[in-house]
A and B are shown apart, each in its own frame.
Chain A
Amino acid sequence: AQSVSQHNHHVILSEAASLELGCNYSYGGTVNLFWYVQYPGQHLQLLLKYFSGDPLVKGIKGFEAEFIKSKFSFNLRKPSVQWSDTAEYFCAVIMNRDDKIIFGKGTRLHILP
């Protein structure tokens, strides 16, 4: 079955640490890839997306993600996190361009000041 896996359910880091959140999907065809973030008390909002082209995608607030087709992965990275990055992060995939969007279970990120 088509699925999206986020390996880390809960991550705790100190400010200025580097971040990498894993995301893998199970589908061999064309994909559109997304990372969404939900800050405490706020709506889900789009961090970045990949449709085609350069597999290294830059998003808002210094986040980036790299699409590695051979590994079916779309990991989210940030070189130096801030306390304000505390939030829940969701990887999402559209498998086969007109199909529905499938979300991972989310990773809760907690940044220690």
Chain B
Amino acid sequence: DAGVTQSPTHLIKTRGQQVTLRCSPKSGHDTVSWYQQALGQGPQFIFQYYEEEERQRGNFPDRFSGHQFPNYSSELNVNALLLGDSALYLCASSLSHGEQFFGPGTRLTVL
């Protein structure tokens, strides 16, 4: 079992660009949650997807959007990037409301 995988591992973008991050959940998991972890902070919840629908959302602007595919993998899209979007983006998968297993994260740098 590969666990939760994320791609890419690192990404550099400039302000105003758009980015797509990808996550494959642990085998058997149907729920994917996305978090933003800024330097020196704990992960902050962005949103959660279940059955291809956004089930919950944290306090993030509409520039942050996502998608879940029939195979339960998920994408996080961020439009109109700002310098403040630079962070580690974590994906976690779970079976509905069960224990969340985290991936290694994607480090996004916005210049």
Q: How many positions in chain A have a CB within 8 Å of any CB in the partner chain? A: 20
Contact B99 A44 (CB under 8 A): no
Closest Cβ–Cβ distance, residue B67 to chain A (whole Å):
19
B58 interface contact, C-beta 8 A: yes
Additional A-B contact list (8), CB under 8 Å, known A4-B42, A43-B4, A43-B105 = A36-B102, A43-B103, A44-B90, A98-B56, A100-B58, A103-B42, A103-B44, A105-B42
- Closest residue of chain B to A42, judged by CB? B104
Give the contacting residue for A43; candidates B33, B41, B99, B104; CB below 8 A.
B104
Which of B's residues lie within 8 Å of A, judged by CB?
3-4, 33, 35, 40-45, 48, 56, 58, 90, 92, 97, 99-105
Contact B45 A98 (CB under 8 A): no
Contact A101 B45 (CB under 8 A): yes
- Closest residue of chain A to B90, judged by CB? A44
